[in-house]
Structures are given as structure tokens and as C-alpha cells.
Structure 1
Amino acid sequence: MHRRTFLTASLATLATGGHALAQMKMDDMKAMPGMDHSGHGMATEPAKPAASLVLKEGEALREVSRLANQSDKAGLFRAKLTAAPATVRFAEGVETPVLAYNGMTPGPLIEVFEDDRVEIDFTNDIPGEDSTIHWHGMPVPADQDGNPMDPVASGTNRRYAFDLPAGSAASYWFHPHPHGKTAEQVYRGLAGVFVVKTRADPVPAVYGDTVLVFTDLRLGADGTIPENSMVDLMNGRVGDHVLVNGQKNPTLDVPLGAKRRFRLYNATNARFLKLSFGAAVMTVIGTDGGLLEAPVVVDDVLLAPAERLELVVSFDKPGAARLETLAYERGWMGPGKPDDAGLALLTVNVSETAREPMPPLPEKLRTIATLGSPKINRRFVFTEKMGMGAGGMEMGFFINDVAFDMQRVDVTAKVGEIELWEVINKADMDHPFHVHGTQFQVVEHERDGKVTPPAYRAWKDTVNVAQGETVRLLLKQDQPGQRMYHCHILEHEQLGMMGIVDVTV
């Protein structure tokens, strides 16, 4: 039987079976979110959106609040971050309990410069749960990376401290990474933006620098956020509303002829965003690891979970220019497949009044040196499995046929040694692949026997590996210690699709 057909049938079995279990093969996991242990099984479909709850639309786009620097010493950014329960009013008259950094979701924006030192005092006030802060994509030491092996217990605190090297300017973000709770803490609101800037930015300052953080939300009829269902665990959680900076379809007013710089962040658990600005011309200027070598004009972009993009958008026609989602087939198992096409995420109102002409983008943004020849070749194969086991129905997502084990090192690498990683997706859906501690360069994609180079040379820390695709990438780790690599559909990470690379001197 084809894997997708078998999985769909298995989900139906789970809906009726009295003692169905999802074996996640992860240490210290007590129970799956959404699992009903009363003998009635687990719901197979995500909770339906509450028809009575209407989210406000059309409000002016909010800037993500900046985290204040408490240091008066040049070159030092020092601040406090607290993860704790909070409430947010997404729908009129209804308070929704969330998790938030410093009372905000998405969390505050940390803005620093290359060569700065960063010291963040983190307090975990989430009742009864470990947490961490993972500085996604950032070149930080392994013991400062917020890995699941380094938890911060509920009611305690720790300081994260690291120096940002020259050449590290990019659009990073931060989120929790505790063992077995990452998915839940993120979909309940814990995510923040970390922008590292260069003092010699080639992009004209008059374009501005606007952050757009995409999250998605599911609300119950009472305004609460429901737990994951079995379908969420299989496919990754996809909410009912896509929010931008915590708002639904906010608006932005610009004059005719304006060019705007946007930093796009996909901070969802599992939503793939294929985006278009309609008639407004989009130019890609940067990815996860910072600026490209030269601008690239595109019709649309795909932003997989955890990916970032920097765009310059030219608004040369009066009227409404909408940032909308386009259809994208990422693969789906079981019922409840969302229709992601045609969602309006942001409406830019372009006035009839033209502004003075803006300076053009420079033809060259920076130089990206090609990584040299690899000394080591590695293969990582993604698969998913579901079937009956001794304890009932078992399911999991695997890399090289093993599920994550926090006590096991999967790969041993050496500091500074260039490696070629071949990531092969034999599963029935796309999987965005993320490596901690470094940025990599994609060499080529292969699918159905056709090999294609990437559209441009770029530094990346997350790359989508489509169903049936092989992605080859070059990387090296510059700092010793244990790092994670995993699928950034967070439910899949928790169900086993993660490993540990131990980087030695």
C-alpha cells in the first residue's frame, strides 16, 4: 500500500481505536498533546475555527517593539527576556491566553551591529515547563545556542552571552527549543526577531527597514488556543489565521513610486508561504544569512517554516497592492488539508501622489566566497513511518531510519572542515531542513532525475527539501560543541526528525 494511503487509513483507525498510542521515541515525553487517555482516542482533525470570533482586519501595521538596551557601554547590548503566560485580544471582547516574551507576541525585536557583544538575561516563568532560547541561525557558541540538552527550568534564569563577528549581519530570530515542548511553546506565542546590522549597509536608507513576522493562529470558541490534534502531529500545525506582526491583514500607506525594504520571517510551526505582491515588483536582496551578491527580481517567493527573506518592493502603481498567498503543494496526510491560496496578509495603500525619485539598488551588494572542496560527504534521508506496535499505533519521523535520542551523537565533525551534506526526502511531504551553529551554501537540487543549481548564491541555515527531492549543500562549523540538525516542521522535530552533530577541535 502507498505510504500516504496507509497513513490516511491509519488515522481513521486512530479515531476509533480505544488505546491508540503515538510512539515518539523521545526521552522523558509523558503524553502527546491532544491525546485523550479516557479510552476515546484522539481527534483526527484540527479544531474548526470559531465562526463567532472575528479577528480585526485593516488596522495600521504595527512595528515590532524593540528591546531596549540597558547598557551604556559602547559595543555592548544587555537586556532581559522573560517567557511567561500573558493574554492577547485577537478577537473583539475575547482574551486569549498565550505565552509571550516580555508580554509580547511576537516577541520584541533585538537590533544590534556586527562586532557587538550581546548579553541576555533570560527568565523562564512558564509554569511547570523547561524552556530555552535558541538563537536561530546565529554564529554563537554551542553552550549559548539554547539546545534541548541545556534546559532552563521553570522559575529559574540564565544569561546568554556571545560576540557577533564581522560579516554576520542578517535577519535572524529566536524561539524556544526545549526537549518535547518546542512546538507547543512556539504556537502559543514564543518567537522574536533578531536583526544584526552592518554600519556599511549598501541598501539605501530611504527604503526604510520593515520587519514582517508571519505567525498563524487557531482559536477555539472561547478564545483559547486548542492543543494539537493527530492531524497536526502528522502534518505540522497549520492555524486558521495567518498574522503579520500579530495582526490580520494590516495596512501600510506609501506614496506612489516608493521602494520599501521588508524583512520576511516565517515563524509558523509548519505553514509554507508562497507569496506575491501582485503588480508591485519584488526584488530579493537577502536570505537567512544576509545580503545576496546582487539583487534578483522575482514574481513570487516561497518561504518555508523558519526561512527568512529580505525584499525590496517597488510601488509604482496607485491603489491597493496586496501581499497574498499562492497555491503550493507541500504534501498532506489525512483530512483537514488547508486551502492556503488567496490569503491577503498585508495591504499596501499606494497614494496617487508621487514622491521624489528614489535611488536605485546598487548592482552589487556584497561578495559571497564559495566554500571549497569538501573533505567529508554525508547523507541524511528523511522518512516517516506509521504502523501497529506492541503498545498500539506507532508513528514517527526519521533521519537515516532513527528517531532523535538526546543521549546519542549521530555525526562527529571537525571545526573548520568543509563537508558536503546530501539531504534526501523520501517522505510524502516537504521538510524544511535546519542546521544549528552555522550557515551553509546550497549547491544543487535534484528531483525526478533533473539537477538544477540554486537561483542565486546565498548563505542559508534552513532549506526546504521538497517531497522526492535531494538537496546538496556545503557547510563547515567554526565552533566546537554539540549542535542540532532537524526538520523545522516543529511537530516532526518532536516526533523524531532530529539529530546531533558533535563538532570537535
Structure 2
Amino acid sequence: MNRREFLLSGVAALVISGPAAAQMQDHSEHGMPGMEGMSGEAGKMAAPRSSLALPEGAPLRDLPRLANRAREPGHFEAELTAKPAIVRFAEGIDTPILAYEGETPGPLIEVTEGDKVAIRFANRLPGEETTIHWHGMPVPAEQDGNPMDPVASGADRLYAFELPEGSAGSYWYHPHPHGRTAEQVYLGLAGAFIVKPRQDPIPAAYGDTPLFFTDLRLAADGSIPASTMADLMNGRVGDHVLVNGQKKPVLTLPAGSRRRFRLFNATNARFLRLTFGTAAITLIGSDGGLLEAPVTGLRAIDLVPAERAEVIVAFEQPGRVVLRTEDVDRGWMGPGRPDTAAELMTIEVTQEQAEPAPPLPARLRRIADLGLPVATRRLEFTETMSMGEGGMKMGFLINGAAFDMGRVDVVTKAGQTELWEIANLADMDHPFHLHGTQFQLVETERDGRVSKAPYRAWKDTINVARGQTVRLLVRQDQPGLRMYHCHILEHEQLGMMGVAEVRA
């Protein structure tokens, strides 16, 4: 029996009992992964699908904005609170959630590169620590919201940082507490953070529309159920995909429109392959902002959990255009792999003709060459399953080790360029995320075939497909402790995370 057959037969035969159902609620002080002895909701192989229908077809809403209370130009000052809230996803049924400022998604934070940012965060989650991780943003390590720096329930914390020139891009923010990240995100804590450039090369006539993708699972009573065994193994995939918190909203545009969209995958584990029907897509930006030059003629955009992209979509003819996500086979353990294809949004293109828009510049920005690496590191992603006392034990490991918050796994030097090899030896795809910096893809290798990066881009999250090795140029510019991990949040939580110490 090969390894994959063993894993799947073990899953099929799994009998779960004992005390470890509390693991996803409260990790041990050592934070070790494993799903041994899980019972209750977490012991179920798959969650039953709810018959609750969500309202569809409302006009696409703008994300609410976090108010800037600063009076001085070049400053952004605000207050942000995380607390329980009640919302109605389904007609007439209340759903308890966790929310920033009572909203899910949380309010859009918009600043300009060069701004000094000061956000006073209030944790009003009863009995739970949390943090705010400014995903992808070049903030000091002590402001990064990593698990070693929790904000206690009832406490406040000032996050303060200055955004350097050249940091314009589409980022997001979410919790990163030890052992509760996955739950706090799927219960509603996530929001978009856009850093605008001082001079934007994209014509203003193209607009600037964020599309923030989350997914949702509802029980019959309207509550958000706990994760199942299948969720822990594969990552939690909800039954409904929401765009800016709405099910299948509608955007109306005149024919001939060129529209700029910022795409955010803020789900726990859903892989997106986005298409706009036959409408042509031009890629202009990735995680860390604009590309050097537009990439034209695309028909689909792939976004793994936590990944972002900026695109221009041309809506030439009147009619109905559907934004869809196609089904993505990213590997699955056990039965019940969901069909992840779905309609996400409709663009109604009217007979009215748009004003002719200026052409897209051939050159968008310059992206610095990080130079030759002075060191090489290799990280290997593996999954393990074995029998032990109390039943089956499963873990998600990097270089054979599960996350330990008290252990430093990598020591590097600020300003030093390194080549990182991320090798996925596991049976499913794992999106890799590194805190504190943006990296550059050099090449990928699979089955002996090497593919060079098609263009230079700043990235902080990238998929590492099963059987694939991804090579990245990495440079950390600020000292301190930084996390690296799989951004399937359940896998991060079950061990697939490490700590890098950046020394001055």
C-alpha cells in the first residue's frame, strides 16, 4: 500500500474519541498538532449542507470604510474593535458572528504610501486572545500581529507603522492568534487594506473596485457550525461564496467599459479560478502591487487562500457577464470533495456606451532586482498520519517538525538576499505565505520540468502544488520574528508553520 492509499484508508476507517476535540478550541501550551481523539462536531467527516437560501442579486455594495480621525496630512489614525455581532445572511434568521466594527467583511482601510498609520485596536472577544496581522504589509515585526504578541480579551493595543514609498498594493488584515486563527477568520474577522500610490499610472476612468471573496457555512438554525474532521484535514470550504459580504451581487456598467478590480481571496481554504466569461482580462498587479507591465489576453485568474490580484476587464458588448470560479482540484483527503465551481457575481452591461477611456500604459512601474542570493534554504511540506493511543493522529509539518511557538526555525540577516526552495512532498496543494516582506518567484519544478517565472512581481503568498518545488528570492529588511506557513488556516493551525528570526 502506498502512502496516499494508507492515508485515505486511515481516514475512511477513522474512529474518533477522547479529549482532543478541544484542540481546535484551545491548543495545549506546546501548540502541537494532531487530531487524535477528536469527537463531537470536529469528529464528523463532513458537515451537512444547509438548505438555507441567501438573498441574491442586490447591487454590489461598496465596502464600508474605516474613518480617518487624523487632522494632519500624511497621517491615518483610527479605532478598530473586534467583538461579537448579529447579522442576517438568510432572510429572517439571525447569525452570531465575530466582526470588526460590527461588519463582515470588516471596514476597508485606505491609506497612501508614505502615510504614518496608527490604529488603536480593541479586543472585545469574550474570553479570547486575538491579534491583527497586516497581511503582506512592510510593517515592523513588533507591529505584525504574530501569535507571540497576543491582545488579551478586554485589552487595547496600538498598532503604529509608517508605509514606505513603493508599498502601494492590495493587502488585507485578519487575526493571527495561536490556535484560533481559523475559527476567528471563518466567523467573520477579515478586511481589506489598500495602500494607494502617490501617482497612479492606471487611468482613473477605469474605476477601482475591490472584490473581497469570503465563504460561509450556515447550519439550519442560522448559526455557523464548528469545523468537521474533513475541514481540519483539507481546510474549511463553505457552502456559499460571498463578494463584499453578498451572495451573487450585480454590477451595472455601460458597454465599452474598462474596469479595474482588486481581487482578494480571504477564505480559509477555497482555491479560486476566476473567469469573466469571454471578457478579456489584463493582469496589472499581484500581492505587493502593480507589475512592471500589463499581462494581456488572460481568460482566468487563479487565487489561492490569502492571495490577491489586480486586473482590468474589458466589457465590450451589451449583455450579461458572469464572474465565476471554476472547480479546482488541489488535492483532497477522504470522501466528499466538494465541487467548488460557483457563480459569484453578475455584470450587467447596458446598451449605453461608456466614454472612451485612455489606454493602459505599457509600463506600470519598476520592480527592483533582488540580486544573487548569498544563502539557500529548503522547506519541505509533509502530511503525516499514524495510529496511536486514542485513534488516528494527523499532522502538517515543515521539515519534519510541527510549529512550536518557542522555537526559532530559521535565522537570517536583514538585507540579505536568499534563495528559498519550498518543496511540497504532501498529497495536496499548500499555499506558502511569508510575513514581513514581499518575495519574487524565480522558477517552479515538477516532475523534472523547470518553468521560469513569466514576469517579475512582488508576492507574499504563492501556491506550492503537490509534487512541486517553488524557488523564491527572499529578502527581509526589518529585524525581528517573522512567521512562515501554509495559508490553509487549518493546516497552519495543525502544525504547518515556522518562525524566522531576522537579525540586524
TM-score of the aligned structures, taking structure 2 as reference length: 0.96
Q: CA deviation at 1:8?
A: 2.3
The 3 A distance-change label for structure 1 pair 185 and 17 is closer
Match status 1:27 vs 2:34: no
Equivalent residues in 2 for 1:342-361, closer than 5 Å:
343-361=342-360
For 1:22-421, what aligned pairs fall within 5 Å after superposition? 27=29, 37=39, 42-45=43-46, 47-51=47-51, 53-297=52-296, 298-341=298-341, 343-421=342-420
Give secondary structure in 1 for the equivalent of 2:349: strand
Counterparts in 2 of 1:471 and 1:433: CA distance versus 1, 3 Å: same
CA distance in 2, matches of 1:366, 1:444: 22
- Cα offsets for 1:392-439 (capped at 9, x unmatched): 321110000000000000000001000000000000111000000000
- How many positions carry a matched residue from both structures? 500
**Does residue 489 in structure 1 map to residue 488 in structure 2?**
yes
Alpha-carbon separation, structure 1, partners of 2:503 and 2:157: 25
Q: 1:41 to 1:497 in 2, by over 3 A?
A: closer
Query: SS where residue 5 of structure 2 aligns?
Result: helix
Contact persistence 1:20–1:392 (CA under 8 A): no
Query: Gapped runs of 5+ residues in structure 1?
Result: none
How big is each residue's C-alpha offset from its partner over 1:210-247, in whole Å with a ceiling of 9 and x where there is no partner? 00000000000000000000100000000001100010
Per-residue deviation, 1:354: 1.1
- Aligned mates of 2:118, 2:85 — CA distance in 1: 24
C-alpha change, 1:426 and 1:69, in structure 2 (3 Å) is same
How do residues 418-433 of structure 1 correspond to structure 2 at under 5 angstroms?
A: 418-433=417-432
**What displacement does 1:281 show?**
0.9
Which one-letter code corresponds to 1:27 in the other structure?
A: E
Deviations 1:41-97 (A, max 9, x none): 81111x22221x110111100111110001111111000111110011111011111
Counterpart in 2 of 1:8?
8
Query: Within 2, Cα distance between the matches of 1:125 and 1:35?
Result: 32
Shift in CA distance, 211/33, structure 1 to aligned 2, threshold 3 Å? farther
> Is the Cα contact below 8 Å between 1:33 and 1:227 reproduced in 2?
no
Distance 1:232 1:34, change over 3 A: farther
Answer yes or no: is the 8 Å Cα contact 1:268–1:306 preserved in 2. yes
Identify if the C-alpha distance between structure 1 residues 29 and 411 changes in structure 2 by more than 3 Å, giving closer, same or farther.
closer
Q: Give 1:359 deviation, angstroms.
A: 1.1
Secondary structure of the 1:94 match is coil
Paired residue secondary structure (2:10): helix
Contact kept in structure 2, 1:382 and 1:426, CA below 8 Å = yes
> What's the secondary structure of 2:367's corresponding residue?
coil
SS in 2 for 1:429: coil
Offset at 1:26?
5.9
Q: Distance in 1 between matches of 2:28 and 2:169?
A: 33
The alpha carbon displacement at 1:32 in A equals: 8.7
> What is the TM-score when the length of structure 1 is the normalising length?
0.96
Kindly indicate whether the alpha-carbon contact (under 8 Å) linking 1:260 and 1:312 is maintained by their aligned counterparts in 2.
Answer: yes
Cα distance in structure 1, aligned partners of 2:445 and 2:73: 48
Identity, in percent, stands at 63
> AA paired with 1:466?
A
Question: Deviations for 1:271-323, whole angstroms, at most 9, x for unmatched residues?
Answer: 00011101111100000000001111211111000000000111001111111
Give, as a single letter, the amino acid of the residue that structure 2 aligns with 1:432. Answer: P
Equivalent position SS for 1:66: coil
Could you list the runs of 5+ residues in structure 2 that have no partner in the other structure?
none
One-letter amino acid matched to 1:471: V
Contact 1:26 1:495 in 2 (8 A): no
Aligned partner letter, 1:79: A
